[in-house]
Amino acid sequence: MNKVDDDVDEFLAAIEGEAGASMRAVDARIRAALPDLSRVLWRGVFWGGTEQAIIGYGDLLQPRPKGQAVEWFLIGLAQQKRHISLYVNAADAAGYLGAQYAAELGTVTIGAASIGFRSASDLDLDALERMVIRARELSGL
């Protein structure tokens, strides 16, 4: 995946229906919590081999188990076919933040660094804000 010059606001405005409203609501909350971090659209083939468009917040160099670190984002937000994915690339001694905040976040599905949900109304947006602020603290950004 690579950063692209596409306008994030135009990208979000083009998403219709409940998915668009949810993406815009979550984006607004992330931006409120992390106002001075970068907000960039990434496009390309993601880990599972699918073509993705992800809004990335905050620039990181992500260490890889084999090979060089890669440029990545601290928080990512993406629309999928049947849900929305939030990627939180932060962990501490207790593990990934998504798992740590799962009980507070609402009706979500947790992966290693991913949180899936169907609608912003399924999320506790205050817990989301606390989690992304904690992610920033851990990242040193």
Domain map (residue ranges) of the chain: 2-139
Classify 2-139 by CATH class: alpha beta
Q: 92 forms bridges with which residues in the sheet?
A: 95
The CA distance from 88 to 136, in Å, is: 10
- Per-residue pLDDT of 40-90, as tens digits, reads 999 998 777 788 999 999 999 887 778 888 889 999 999 998 999 999 999
Looking at 34-141, list the stretches that DSSP marks H as alpha helix, in order from N- to C-terminal side. 97-105, 125-139
- Amino acid type, 108: V
Q: Tokens for 120?
A: 């912003």
Cα 33 to Cα 115: distance, rounded to the nearest angstrom = 18
Give the Cα separation of 14 and 135 in Å (integer): 28
**CB count in 10 Å sphere of residue 70:** 11
Tell me the average pLDDT across 85-102.
Answer: 95
Q: What mean pLDDT value characterizes the chain?
A: 94
In 14-119, beta strands by DSSP E: 39-45, 51-62, 70-79, 84-88, 91-92, 95-96, 109-110, 114-117
Residue 8 has pLDDT above 90, yes or no: yes
Q: What is the largest CA-CA distance in the chain?
A: 41
Band (pLDDT 50/70/90 cuts) for residue 105 is: very high
**pLDDT score for 70:** 84
Q: Judge whether 39 and 32 are in contact, CB under 8 Å.
A: no
Q: Look up the pTM and report it.
A: 0.94
